[in-house]
Structure 1
Amino acid sequence: MRTEEAIAIGILLTLFFLVSSGTATIHVPDNYETIQAAVEAASLGDTIIVSDGMYIENIEVNKSLTIRSENGSNSTFVWAKYPGYDVFNVTADHVAISGFTAEGAIGAAGISLLYAEYCNISDNHCTYNYDGISIANSNKNRIANNSCTANLLAGIAIRSSANNKLSDNCMQDGGIWVESDSIANYTHEIDESNTVNGKPLYYWNDVADGRVPDAAGQVILVNCTNITVEGQNVNNASIGIAVAFSSDVAIRNNICSYNTYAVLLKYSSNTKLNANVMVENGILIQGNSLHDYMHQIDTSNTVNGKPVYYCKDVDGGRVPDGAGQVIVANCTNIIVEDQNVNNASIGIAVAFSSDLAIRNNNCSYNQFGILFEYSNSNHIEHNTVNANSLDGIQLRSHSNNNILAYNSANSNSGAGIRCFRYSNKNLIANNTAKNNTNNGIFLDESNNNKIYSNNASNNDDNGISVCLSNNNDIRNNLANDNDYYGIVLWSSDENIIANNRAKNNSDNGIYLDDSTTNSIANNSCSNNGDKGIALKYSATNSIANNTCSRNEYGIDFFVAANNSITNSNCSNNTNTGIYLSYSSDNKICDNDASNNVNHHGITLDASQNNEVVGNTVDSNLQAGIVLVIASENIIADNTARNNGYSGIYLGDSKNNSVAGNSANSNLQAGIVLWTSDDNMIANNTAQNNGNNGICLNYSSCNNSIYLNNVVDNTVNANSLNSTNIWHSPSTITYTYSGNTYTKYLGNYWDDYTGTDSDEDGIGDAYYSIGRDRDNYPLMMPWASYFK
């Protein structure tokens, strides 16, 4: 009984607190200058009222709020500060936004709902965005009384969302765009109070046996049968007539102009198209089975005054000249050549077909120039696919063993050439993919492709991009002058990147992110804005015989492990030749990292267990090899000469082995240790350096320094506030003057003046090094003791 009473009292107290605490009203700009600042300061349930004016910002709404203007969208304007981001991005439930003009997000949306539910978007004007209003992975929202005009793709876009209610929205120059592979995400309440270009939108779901009324602004049929769409004039509606998950629909005698797609058939069958006139748009068919491509489309349908050729179940033959659009489904041995199919949404579309020859066609100014799905062993050669709104050529959905050669895929807004969704074992060779807004060539979830001898240069993104794709062979390509990377691998393994030229790119020549077991060999990666070759979160890659000069950094690793860099030229870079940070267990062998302009030849920063062996690091502005906060590394058999500061430098580094190196003729010192302990410095030569041969500064202690030749330096050794061991940690067996001894051995100092009375090769007196001393100075260079 007491427990129940306690619970009841707790509930009453909670309710009292909630009621008494209430919600706040925040005014912009009175309380906060920007809407974003007000959002960040607000608590759940607060109301933000925005006064008249222009606000230039991108607003992230991540809590339940009401945001409304004081006097409506004609008085309150929010312009995207960053046009690639949404004006309002809502990621919380129970958000209300009303009374704004949201504009200028040409790469995003005026108002975006992302993973948001129970939101209310009303009385807004969304213009000059990519999407006016975007609803993605968001359910049960209300979109009402909005005006969406002059947006690039759609007035309202609904992607992978369900059970939203749209009413009284006015869309101009763009309608509704619904995108999903699931019929559940087409379940919305969208009535005829929504208009497109002043005419009602007909969104029919689960309707059988009917005719769409005349004068539609846009038609969308979902899960319908035996519907007739005729006599409509649907222009500038994003998609004029969309049929999804439906069958036996008749589309005839319509005029569809200036849409992204005139007619979309998605996961539908047995649609009959007759006598439709399409101007600067065409037909898109989507599905994942042959059944989805089985329609009746005759040549009475025209695109730009020319017939649509829909080839279905045909073996052999040639598509007649003068096509407005070409669609091939379940065909073999068809030739499509010498066509000029422009402004047709998709110039040439191929599905479930093989052994086709697609050649010498011009497919420009479409959404896709050439699109292949579920199609194998085709030849796509000598085509011009320029200035399309998406990709020039796209292979997707298990399109395998195709040959793409000698095509011109330039100036497309997507990629020049793209392999997507498990399109494998294709040969992409001798193509030009330049000046595209996206990548020149893009492999996305596609394996075992060969990318040979293409020119993927001057693209706004990357030259060649490989994402979630394995075992591809990328050779002999030009990937120059791109705005980001020449060649990039994202989460991609076991690829070969060989004999490519990746020069003059704004970022890196070749870049690997979260990628393993790739071979990067014989590439020329010079004159790039950042790195010649860069690895991030990547392991077990081989980097060999590359030229990485005249970049900011030659080769750069960040959190990279078990990789190798061998026989590469990393000279003449602005910063450092080879730079490793937070990286371990890598091997850096036989490289030339000389003449780097502002810093070092090789740097290990906060890195462990790496091997730096056999490299040449000469004439760098500062040091040949630098270790900073680095441990357990091996620095062996390197040549570090004529550097502006030191040959080898260790700063705040421990337990490293520095052995067998030549650190000669450096401006300041051969080998420097700065606050570095417990390192081994052995078998090195430090000769003819401007100041010190070996220098230990600021409490560098417990280092073992032995069997080094320290010759002809201004001061052979300097130890400042440091206590170290200047001889071998244990006895060593050696031969001197024909006799064998087992003793401790120190270092060879050319300015040692002591005697060797017992002729064992060890001086009788110690060699003084500040507060330290070498108790076993050698009478001859150390190598003489091991012949």
Structure 2
Amino acid sequence: DGDTVVVYNGDYDENIRIGKRITLMGTDQRTVVLRNSNGNSVITVSSSQVTISNLRIEGSMARVGIYAHDVTGLSVRKVAFTGCEKGIMLEMGHHLTVAHCTFRNSHTSGLYVSGNDAERFENIDIRDCTFSDNKANAILLNRCRHVMMDRLTMTGSGHDGINAYKVAWVQLRNSTISDNRNGLMLFDSHGWDIEDNVIQGNRHNGIELNQSGAEIPNELHRNQISRNSQGQGISAAGILFFGKGAADNIVANNDIAENPTGLNFISYSGGCNYNTFRRNVVRKCDYGIWESSGTGPNTYLLNDFLYNSVQAAAVNRMSTFDDGHMGNYWSDYQTKVPSAIKVGSLWSAPYQVVSGVGAYDDYPLAYRYEQDPPVIQHLGPLEGEVLTPGMSATFGVIASDGSHIEGYTWSVKTPDGFESSYELA
């Protein structure tokens, strides 16, 4: 127990079984090759606290690279998996770490982790890994929770980049997910934080939230979701909300561009409702929003809908597009309401989101919402300027760029309590 076993350069045809707490370490990932012509896996782990690192595992259609059942604390680092049935397959247990690994040409999924209804697989950490050209999913998670995924690349999967069934409390960050069927497919999954990812060029949906949300909302922030579902028709989308349970999710500060439908909602039993969309850009899609019959209502606020062929094809008449003070920016507003004038930051007349259903944005924005508002870098009176309460004065202002700044207002309070307000238009 506790020993380190070093594997030197060579090509080894072995059925390796690890039943003790050891570290199995190759000297060079490029030149230490493990394969198995017999049996179901190249390495089988039955002990907890095992580390496998710095080698290459080559498999075949019927052989898993690393298989483990009901173990704790398995760590796999700097391992290249090529041509395995699955690169890593774990059933039951908890605490898995996978870092700096590559998974290529798996006959099913690159990484497969599964718990069951009675006991979830707990605590998974996957970082700095690349998954390419796996015939099923890059990552398949089944009945897991407390998962961290960071700095991953998933491309060329026959099925999904990530396929998750009943998986909760997940952070997915800083990853690139492209050229898969769906970028992300979440079924009955909750509590995901999906942040700062590039999800583009997938063959169907960028993200599908299938019966996911409701109990514990999923949150999507600052993702680039673009050019998904090319040629797949209007049922595919940048983000698809599917089924009654796809509810209460929060989608904010994302760029959703050049998808057949930006935000699509489909359910045959109601639901797909109470999702909140704030400060997103939905642009150059065939349809910006499509709430199909029986879905909604949802809430849209401070979003920019830009140059979509149809901004909204269908919406629930109870969906809301303003909060009584501010709404959204619509790039075709002046075409639809040519007589309106700007009143501060708003247009003077409502925007009809979809005709015939009574859906209006009563406070449409006259300017695009600034996700990064301008910052005052310097504000002060010019040298020699004397400030007299109630009198005008000359100030110097230096500010970061803001595309639609209409003016500045500020006040100055003297040590003896006099206060004057100033305005620069």
Q: Same fold (TM over 0.5)?
A: yes
Which position in structure 1 is the counterpart of 2:392?
none
Which position in structure 2 is the counterpart of 1:523?
223
Deviation at 1:583, TM superposition (A): 2.5
Which of residues 332, 357, 369 is equivalent to 2:21? 332
Structure 2 counterpart of 1:447, one-letter code: R
Structure 1 counterpart of 2:265, one-letter code: F
How does 1:183-582 map onto structure 2 within 5 Å?
Answer: 314-318=1-5, 322=12, 324-329=14-19, 331-337=20-26, 338-344=32-38, 345-365=40-60, 367-388=63-84, 390-398=85-93, 400-421=94-115, 422-482=120-180, 484-516=181-213, 517-529=217-229, 530-537=236-243, 538-558=246-266, 559-573=271-285, 575-581=286-292, 582=294
* C-alpha separation in 2, matches of 1:426 and 1:458: 23
**3-state SS of the aligned residue for 1:579?**
strand
Structure 1 counterpart of 2:95, one-letter code: N
Q: 1:578 to 1:349 in 2, by over 3 A?
A: same
Structure 1 counterpart of 2:77, one-letter code: E
Structure 2 counterpart of 1:487, one-letter code: L
Deviation at 1:355, TM superposition (A): 3.8
**3-state SS of the aligned residue for 1:370?**
strand
* C-alpha separation in 2, matches of 1:535 and 1:417: 26
* C-alpha separation in 1, matches of 2:242 and 2:282: 18
The answer as to whether partners of 2:353 and 2:361 remain within 8 angstroms in 1 is: no
**3-state SS of the aligned residue for 1:562?**
coil
Name the count of aligned residue pairs: 326
How does 1:1-20 map onto structure 2 within 5 Å?
Answer: none
How does 1:26-37 map onto structure 2 within 5 Å?
Answer: none
The answer as to whether partners of 1:335 and 1:358 remain within 8 angstroms in 2 is: yes
Higher relative contact order (CA 8 A, sep 6+): 2
Structure 1 counterpart of 2:83, one-letter code: A
Where do 5+ consecutive residues of structure 1 fail to align? 1-313, 625-636, 665-787
* C-alpha separation in 2, matches of 1:418 and 1:407: 14
Q: Normalising by structure 1, report the TM-score.
A: 0.39
Q: 1:617 to 1:589 in 2, by over 3 A?
A: same
* C-alpha separation in 2, matches of 1:433 and 1:411: 9
Which position in structure 2 is the counterpart of 1:5?
none
The answer as to whether partners of 1:352 and 1:373 remain within 8 angstroms in 2 is: no
The answer as to whether partners of 1:436 and 1:459 remain within 8 angstroms in 2 is: yes
Which position in structure 2 is the counterpart of 1:230?
none
Q: 1:503 to 1:639 in 2, by over 3 A?
A: farther
User: 1:750-773 CA deviation, whole Å, 9 max, x = no partner?
Assistant: xxxxxxxxxxxxxxxxxxxxxxxx
Structure 2 counterpart of 1:544, one-letter code: A
Which position in structure 2 is the counterpart of 1:159?
none
Deviation at 1:564, TM superposition (A): 0.5
Q: 1:578 to 1:639 in 2, by over 3 A?
A: farther
Which of residues 332, 345, 352 is equivalent to 1:619? 332
Which position in structure 2 is the counterpart of 1:670?
none
Deviation at 1:639, TM superposition (A): 5.8
Which position in structure 2 is the counterpart of 1:660?
363
Larger radius of gyration: 1
Structure 1 counterpart of 2:209, one-letter code: L
Q: Say which structure is richer in helix.
A: 1
The answer as to whether partners of 2:146 and 2:169 remain within 8 angstroms in 1 is: yes
User: 1:185-217 CA deviation, whole Å, 9 max, x = no partner?
Assistant: xxxxxxxxxxxxxxxxxxxxxxxxxxxxxxxxx
Q: 1:405 to 1:620 in 2, by over 3 A?
A: farther
Deviation at 1:332, TM superposition (A): 0.9
The answer as to whether partners of 1:595 and 1:618 remain within 8 angstroms in 2 is: yes
**3-state SS of the aligned residue for 1:384?**
strand
**3-state SS of the aligned residue for 2:80?**
coil
Structure 1 counterpart of 2:81, one-letter code: V
Deviation at 1:621, TM superposition (A): 12
* C-alpha separation in 1, matches of 2:52 and 2:136: 27
* C-alpha separation in 1, matches of 2:237 and 2:48: 43
The answer as to whether partners of 2:50 and 2:75 remain within 8 angstroms in 1 is: yes
Which position in structure 2 is the counterpart of 1:586?
298
How does 1:639-718 map onto structure 2 within 5 Å?
Answer: 647-648=351-352, 650-654=354-358, 659-661=362-364
Percent identity between the two aligned chains:
18
* C-alpha separation in 2, matches of 1:391 and 1:640: 60
* C-alpha separation in 2, matches of 1:640 and 1:543: 28
* C-alpha separation in 1, matches of 2:42 and 2:348: 60
Q: Say which structure is richer in strand.
A: 2
* C-alpha separation in 1, matches of 2:351 and 2:86: 52
* C-alpha separation in 2, matches of 1:320 and 1:479: 34
Structure 1 counterpart of 2:17, one-letter code: I
The answer as to whether partners of 1:618 and 1:640 remain within 8 angstroms in 2 is: no
Deviation at 1:466, TM superposition (A): 1.4
Q: 1:539 to 1:623 in 2, by over 3 A?
A: farther
* C-alpha separation in 1, matches of 2:290 and 2:334: 15
Structure 2 counterpart of 1:452, one-letter code: D
Deviation at 1:660, TM superposition (A): 3.2
Structure 2 counterpart of 1:526, one-letter code: S
**3-state SS of the aligned residue for 1:418?**
strand
Which of residues 300, 312, 322 is equivalent to 1:602? 312
* C-alpha separation in 2, matches of 1:440 and 1:639: 47
The answer as to whether partners of 2:145 and 2:168 remain within 8 angstroms in 1 is: yes
Alpha-carbon RMSD across the aligned residues, in angstroms, is: 2.7
* C-alpha separation in 2, matches of 1:504 and 1:481: 5
User: 1:354-378 CA deviation, whole Å, 9 max, x = no partner?
Assistant: 1423432323225211112222223
* C-alpha separation in 2, matches of 1:464 and 1:639: 42
* C-alpha separation in 1, matches of 2:212 and 2:127: 24
Deviation at 1:454, TM superposition (A): 0.9
How does 1:106-121 map onto structure 2 within 5 Å?
Answer: none
* C-alpha separation in 2, matches of 1:553 and 1:640: 29
Structure 1 counterpart of 2:151, one-letter code: S
User: 1:34-84 CA deviation, whole Å, 9 max, x = no partner?
Assistant: xxxxxxxxxxxxxxxxxxxxxxxxxxxxxxxxxxxxxxxxxxxxxxxxxxx
Which position in structure 1 is the counterpart of 2:384?
none
**3-state SS of the aligned residue for 1:447?**
strand
* C-alpha separation in 2, matches of 1:353 and 1:328: 10
Q: 1:638 to 1:359 in 2, by over 3 A?
A: farther
* C-alpha separation in 1, matches of 2:302 and 2:201: 26
Q: 1:519 to 1:568 in 2, by over 3 A?
A: same
User: 1:73-97 CA deviation, whole Å, 9 max, x = no partner?
Assistant: xxxxxxxxxxxxxxxxxxxxxxxxx
* C-alpha separation in 2, matches of 1:615 and 1:333: 58
* C-alpha separation in 2, matches of 1:649 and 1:497: 28
